[in-house]
Every structure is written in structure tokens, then in C-alpha cells.
Amino acid sequence: MHPKVREFLRQPYPYYFKGKNLWILAAVIFTMSLGFNYFFEPFVVYKPEHKVSYFWISIIHSLNAFISILLVIGLNNLRINEDKWTVGNEIALISIVLLMIGICQFLVRDLIYANPNNWSFGYLLEEVRNTFLVGLLFALILVPLNYLRLMKAHLKTAQTFNETPPIQLAHQKPPFLPIVTQQKSDDFDLDLENFLLAKSEGNYLEIFFENGGQANKVIKRMTMKELENQLESFPQCFKTQRSYLVNLQKVEHVKGNAQGYQLKIKGFSDPIPVSRGMIDEFEKKFKKN
């Protein structure tokens, strides 16, 4: 595989198929499939073979797509790690969904067509081929529309965040919080007033503090989960994704795009991503404060 193709497939990609989004997607595909099949008759229609009316044939084909999407993606949701989802994973998932739909269209042929060759390998290939052709057409329509919708929504919300002052602590002066690490000699007091963020690096954390407008780094032997548990009483400390925990009081700017949000932290050069799975909680926390 060409290195550029491999790099493209490994690019992070937002995962949109959980909760009500999955049902909305299945319903949209059902509606589009029904309308496309019934009104345009995209493939050869030989009516003498039909056991039921063409409308009901279109309904059955569309229900196959609806059920296959719920089944395949629903099972995938049981094991998904949104922080590690990539373009390659997205393409593979869509391909599996289309393959499942094509197989299901083949399996129901005896219900709707009076053709002695219904169970032939040729018809299996035909149903799978037709499903991929229609699926790619739908993808060319839905993906750009979804991209524009998400970008517009996140840009608008990010603008409201940037117009809102940073969240305020209940304390007049933030405390120094004793932090326990995996090594007693490495324990330290966390200065919440100057704490910027923590970044996970294997079994270590890189913890950044503000000092004269710059971000100073210290390294501690502990996991992100251990630090997160010790900071759970402080709502300004928020884990944006698996590798980052930030002090929301130090957010200077929120940038919105189709994938979600990226945060600019005071004194820290790299943008901090908010993972797809944390977007709702991030928005609630900002609006609440």
C-alpha cells in the first residue's frame, strides 16, 4: 500500500453512529432507499416475476437496509473506541454494512421474485454489486451534507463559548491539592491556579503549569485515570479525550469544525482536541458555567 494512502486511512475520524444518531441514519437511509427504488427503478424490473407489487418490493428492500444498519452498527457500538476511530475504520464499517445489505437482498429474493435461479451465485453478486452502487451514491449525498451541518453547528457553538468569560471557581483562591502518584517520592502539590493541562504518555503524565505566560512541563509516574479521580471535585478540570485533561479556566479560544472542537490553552502551542464522545458533556459544562 502506498504510504500516502496508509497515512490517509490512519487519520482520526469522528464517530457519529451512537444513540439517536444511529436511528436517524437508519430512518434516512430507509426513506432514501424507498424513494429511490420506487420512483426511479434504477435496476432492471421484470414485472412478470414479481410475487407482490413493486411498492412492497421497494419496502422490503428498504427494510433490509434499515435492519442491517441497526444490526451491524449497533454491534460495533458495543466495542467502539471513539478516540481511536480512523478513516480506515469508517470505510471498513460502511463496507461491512453494504455487504450485509446486499446479502440480505439476496436472501429475500424467493419472497418477492418467482425466478428459478434466485439462489444462484450470479444473483448474489448482482445484489451485492447493486447495493454498493446505491450505497456509494447515498454516501456522496449524505457525507457532505452531514459535514456542513456539523461544521455549522460547532462553529456557532464555539462562537458562543468564545463570547463567554472563562468559568469561575467557587474559591477566592484556588488551593494546592496534594496529588498521590505511583511512587511516594514523586507525590506533589498541584497548584490549580496555574495548572494548564495533563497529557498522557504511556504510564507517565506530562503536566503543564503556567509560568510567565509559558507552559512549564513536569513528568509524573501515574495514569490519567489516577489524576482524574483526584481532581473529580474540581469541575474546571475536564478530560477532553483519552490523552488530555485540561483546566477549562485556561481555555483562551474554542475552534469548531466538522469533527467537533479544538481548544487553545493559555501558553500551550498545540490545539487540544475534544473527542466525539465528550462533545455533549463539554458543551453542557461550558454552558452550565
**pLDDT tens profile 178-209:** 999 888 888 999 988 899 999 998 888 999 99
- Are 149 and 33 in a shared domain? yes
- Are 181 and 76 in a shared domain? no
- Are 198 and 56 in a shared domain? no
- Are 152 and 191 in a shared domain? no
The contacts of residue 117 (CB under 8 Å, 6+ apart) are 123
pLDDT the model gives residue 288? 55
- Are 141 and 93 in a shared domain? yes
pLDDT the model gives residue 159? 84
Strand order in the sheet with 272-274: 251-257, 260-265, 272-274
- Are 141 and 247 in a shared domain? no
Report the CATH number that the domain containing residue 174 is assigned in CATH. Answer: 2.40.50.1020
pLDDT the model gives residue 143? 86
Cα–Cα distance measured from residue 289 to residue 284, given in angstroms and rounded to the nearest whole number = 8
Q: Show which of 112, 140, 156 is a domain's final residue.
A: 156
pLDDT the model gives residue 257? 81
- Are 124 and 215 in a shared domain? no
Cα–Cα distances in angstroms (integers) from residue 159 to residues 152, 256, 258, 265, in the given order? 11, 8, 14, 16
Q: pLDDT (tens digit, 0 to 9) for every residue of the chain, 289 residues total?
A: 788 888 888 887 888 898 899 999 999 999 999 999 999 888 877 889 999 999 999 999 999 999 999 999 999 999 988 778 888 999 999 999 999 999 999 999 999 999 999 999 999 999 999 999 999 999 999 988 888 888 888 888 888 888 765 555 444 455 788 999 888 888 999 988 899 999 998 888 999 999 887 888 999 999 999 999 999 888 889 999 888 999 998 988 898 887 789 999 988 888 999 987 788 888 887 765 5
- Are 74 and 150 in a shared domain? yes
- Are 219 and 191 in a shared domain? yes
- Domain tally, the chain: 2
- Are 203 and 284 in a shared domain? yes
- Are 135 and 265 in a shared domain? no
- Residue range of the domain that includes 44: 3-156
- Are 85 and 142 in a shared domain? yes
Cα–Cα distance measured from residue 87 to residue 7, given in angstroms and rounded to the nearest whole number = 10
Q: Show which of 156, 173, 202 is a domain's final residue.
A: 156
pLDDT the model gives residue 173? 53
Assessment of whether the complete model's pTM goes beyond 0.85: no
Cα–Cα distance measured from residue 67 to residue 25, given in angstroms and rounded to the nearest whole number = 11
The residue with cell 501558553 is 267
pLDDT the model gives residue 169? 46
Instruction: Look at strands 214-221 and 176-179 and give their pairing.
Output: unpaired
